[in-house]
Structure 1
Amino acid sequence: MSESTTTDEIESWLRELATDLTEPRPGECLLCFVARSLDEFGCDNQLRFACRFRDLRAPRAVGLERRLGQRGGFCDCEIFLNGWSVHSRLWSPEREVEREGYAEIIEAEPPEELPPCTGVRLGSTQPCGNWERRRRGW
């Protein structure tokens, strides 16, 4: 096998990997894509992944940044800090356990790993059923 053939194969493999990591999957919603991207690459204090999703899957969603900002999502991580959270039906339930003769409450917790995206139609920036809006106020 020649060196140029090996190089071409490696470059092809890297392009496929980069596509898998940085592009929305078929039917994947905005929030599942942004959450997956944040897990891989972290936040840069911009709406980098949200805008990438819009540019690739929903270019007509010209008000996306404004809409996310209205919910407190001025960067990718703030979408989840202020705007949306994993749907409560996916959380482990609050439970009471007994330890050393005392009752201890274990609070409900979000899942360690998100379930697969339940999907949205092409062109939508709405979240799938894995997400719910955070309630505002105390």
Structure 2
Amino acid sequence: MTNADVLDLWTEPQERECLSCYVSRLLADFGCDGTLRWTHRWRATRAPGVASLDQRLRRHGVGCDCGVPAAVGAATRSGAPPPCAGVRRGSTRPCSVWGRPPPDAPG
């Protein structure tokens, strides 16, 4: 197995992993590069039919992965992300491990 194979396995969205958990996990491991690379990778494998995701993120001023959890309605949490509770394939909603966003949060 090559390093590229290991990286592909590491960055592959887990079965039923929500967008917020996936992006948070990858940001914790690799940081933000100022793009939506993790969001696009998740969408390509977990929700390819959700073409409006980029538009929704732009409406909330999101230009990189760092802002994705808040833009999809997940409240910020501190510490290491817990295991994802899971969502149905194609859903961009955060799973139940995320708290409710404050009333003035985008989403």
Q: Please, what TM-score do these two structures have when normalized by structure 2? A: 0.79
One of 75, 81, 88 as aligned partner of 1:85: 75
Structure with greater proportional strand content:
1
| Structure 2 stretches lacking a partner, 5+ long | none
* Structure 1: distance between partners of 2:34 and 2:102: 20
Q: State yes or no: 1:116 paired with 2:92.
A: no
The share of aligned pairs that are identical, in percent, is 39
Distance 2:43 2:18 in 1: 10
Q: Which secondary structure state, in structure 1, belongs to the residue aligned with residue 75 of structure 2?
A: strand
The equivalent of 2:23 in structure 1 is 34
Q: Which runs of 5+ in 1 are unaligned?
A: 1-9, 87-109
Residue aligning to 2:33: 44
- Considering Cα pairs closer than 8 Å and 6+ residues apart, tell me whether 1 or 2 has the greater RCO: 2
Alignment of 1:45-64 (within 5 A): 45-64=34-53
Q: Report the TM-score when normalising by structure 1.
A: 0.63
* Count of paired positions: 102
CA distance in 1, matches of 2:50, 2:91: 8
- When the two chains are superposed, the root-mean-square deviation of aligned CA atoms in Å is 2.2
Q: 1:51 to 1:60 in 2, by over 3 A?
A: same
Other structure's SS at 2:86 match: coil
